[in-house]
C-alpha cells in the first residue's frame, strides 16, 4: 500500500517537472503595446488541434494549476479579453483592450490536447510601454527624442507611425538611420549618448497619432526592439495671414462701435458745455455757461433766428469796430439755450491811464429761469 502511494507521488512529481521543463524550453513570443491601447496576441497551432479548445492563461500556468483569463466557447473573466479562433489559418488570437501597466508579464497560449494534463503551450511575454504625450502646431517643427540601451548602439534605429507594433512591423516606417531623411522626417543618431532624435518639419494635423521608436536587433535575426511610444497631437495655429484678418476684424468692430456711440449721442441731443471767453478775464480765465431750460434774450431786436444771433459792428469815434459773433453749435437744436460769444480786442490807441487796453463788449442777459 505504501509502495503504491509512493509510485503515485513519483508520477505526479514527474508530470509536474515535465510541465515546468516544457514551459521553460518552449519558444517565447514577445508582444509590445502601450497603455490604454490594445494588443493582439497571435497563437499559431498545428492542424490536428483545429477542433480542440484554446485558451490564454496568466502567470506560471502549470499544467495542474491554470489561471485562464479567456478561453474559447466560454465568457472571459475580464471583458477586456476576447478570443477568436481562425481554424483555416490555424491561429487563434487573443485581443486585450484598454491596456494597463499591471497587464504586463508572462502569459501562455494553451490548447487542450485531450491527453490528461499534457496541454500544448506557447509562452508569451507582454510588455506595456508608458506613453509620452507631445504637442505641436501646424506649420512648425518639433523633435521626438528616443533613448535606448547601449546594447542597441550598433543597430538600425527607426520611427514608425501606427497604433500597434504588429502593424509597424509590416509598414508605416517614417525614417530610419539607414537613410537619415525621408521627406519632412529626418533622424540623427548619437550613439555615445544613447539617443536618437527625429525631426518633423511643416507639421500638419494629419501628423497626429501614435509613433514607435524602435531598433532592428541584428544579433537576434533582425528582430525589432521597441524602445518607446509617443502620442503626438498637432493642432492648428495662428498663421500670419489669419492674425492679420483677426486684427482687421477687431479694428472694424472698434470703428463701428465708435460710430454707433457718436450717432447715439446725437440722437439723444447730448450737448457739451459752452465756454464764454472774454477779453477782460484775468490770466486767460473762462466762464462756463451751464445749460438751463430757459432761453436768453435776443441781443438785437432785428435778429429773430431761434438758434443764433449776430451782433452787427458799431463804430466809435476812432473807427474801432467792436463786435461779437454768436457761433452756431455743432448740433443745432430747437432747444438751444445759449451761444458762445468771442470778442476782439479794441483799437490799440484805446488805453487807460495805466497802459491797459480797453474794449467794449456785449452782455447776454438770460430770461428769468425761476432761480
**Pairing relationship of beta strands 131-137 and 142-147 according to DSSP bridges:** unpaired
CATH numbers and ranges of domains, the chain = 29-129 (2.60.40.10), 131-235 (2.60.40.10)
Q: For residues 146 and 228, is the Cβ–Cβ distance under 8 A?
A: yes
Residue with cell 466809435: 316
Looking at the whole model, is its pTM more than 0.85?
no
Q: What pLDDT sits at residue 63? A: 67
Q: Report the chain's C-alpha Rg in angstroms.
A: 48
Neighbouring CB atoms inside 10 A of 206's CB total: 8
Predicted confidence at residue 336, as pLDDT, reads: 46
3-state secondary structure of 79: coil
Give the count of alpha carbons within 13 A of 54, CB side only: 24
Query: How are strands ordered across the β-sheet holding 81-86?
Result: 39-44, 91-96, 81-86
- Distances in whole angstroms, Cα of residue 240 to Cα of each of 166, 243, 247, 330, 345: 41, 5, 11, 43, 60
- Which segments of the chain have a pLDDT < 70? 1-26, 63, 116-117, 238-241, 269-371
Instruction: Render pLDDT for 217-249 as a digit per residue (tens, 0 to 9).
Output: 877 777 899 999 999 999 997 666 677 888 889
Q: What confidence score (pLDDT) does residue 197 get?
A: 98
Sequence-distant (6+) residues with CB within 8 A of 44 are 90, 91, 122
Q: What is the pLDDT of residue 305?
A: 47
Sheet bearing 185-190, strands edge to edge: 142-147, 195-200, 185-190, 181-182
Residues whose CB falls within 8 Å of the CB of residue 371, separated by 6 or more in sequence, listed in order: none
Amino acid at each position: 500500500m505504501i509502495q503504491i502511494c509512493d509510485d503515485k507521488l513519483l508520477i505526479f512529481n514527474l508530470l509536474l517537472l515535465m510541465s515546468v521543463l516544457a514551459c521553460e524550453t518552449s519558444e517565447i513570443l514577445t508582444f509590445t503595446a502601450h497603455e490604454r491601447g490594445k494588443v493582439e496576441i497571435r497563437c499559431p497551432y498545428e492542424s490536428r488541434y483545429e477542433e480542440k479548445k484554446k485558451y490564454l492563461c496568466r502567470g506560471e500556468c502549470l499544467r495542474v494549476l491554470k489561471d485562464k483569463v479567456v478561453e474559447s466557447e466560454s465568457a472571459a473573466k475580464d471583458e477586456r479579453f476576447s478570443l477568436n479562433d481562425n481554424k483555416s489559418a490555424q491561429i487563434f488570437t487573443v485581443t486585450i483592450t484598454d491596456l494597463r501597466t499591471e497587464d504586463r508579464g508572462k502569459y501562455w497560449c494553451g490548447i487542450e490536447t485531450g491527453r490528461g494534463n499534457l496541454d500544448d503551450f506557447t509562452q508569451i511575454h507582454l510588455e506595456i510601454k508608458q506613453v509620452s504625450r507631445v504637442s505641436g502646431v501646424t506649420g512648425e517643427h518639433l523633435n521626438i527624442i528616443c533613448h535606448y540601451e547601449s546594447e542597441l548602439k550598433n543597430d538600425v534605429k527607426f520611427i514608425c507611425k501606427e497604433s500597434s507594433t504588429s502593424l509597424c512591423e509590416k509598414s508605416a516606417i517614417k525614417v530610419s538611420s539607414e537613410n537619415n531623411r525621408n521627406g519632412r522626417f529626418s533622424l540623427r543618431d548619437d550613439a555615445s549618448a544613447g539617443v536618437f532624435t527625429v525631426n518633423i518639419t511643416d507639421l500638419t494635423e494629419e501628423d497626429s497619432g501614435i509613433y514607435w521608436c524602435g531598433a532592428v536587433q541584428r544579433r537576434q535575426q533582425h528582430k525589432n526592439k521597441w524602445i518607446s511610444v509617443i502620442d503626438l497631437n498637432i493642432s492648428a495655429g495662428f498663421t500670419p495671414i489669419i492674425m492679420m484678418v483677426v486684427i482687421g476684424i477687431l479694428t472694424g468692430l472698434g470703428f463701428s462701435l465708435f460710430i454707433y456711440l457718436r450717432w447715439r449721442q446725437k440722437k439723444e441731443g447730448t450737448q457739451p458745455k459752452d465756454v464764454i471767453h472774454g477779453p477782460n478775464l484775468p490770466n486767460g480765465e473762462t466762464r462756463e455757461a451751464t445749460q438751463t431750460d430757459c432761453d436768453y434774450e435776443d441781443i438785437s431786436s432785428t435778429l429773430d433766428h431761434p438758434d443764433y444771433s449776430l451782433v452787427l459792428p458799431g463804430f466809435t469815434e476812432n473807427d474801432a469796430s467792436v463786435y461779437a459773433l454768436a457761433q452756431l453749435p455743432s448740433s443745432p437744436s430747437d432747444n438751444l439755450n445759449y451761444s458762445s460769444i468771442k470778442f476782439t480786442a479794441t483799437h490799440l490807441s484805446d488805453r487807460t491811464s495805466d497802459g491797459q487796453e480797453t474794449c467794449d463788449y456785449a452782455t447776454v442777459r438770460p430770461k428769468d429761469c425761476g432761480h
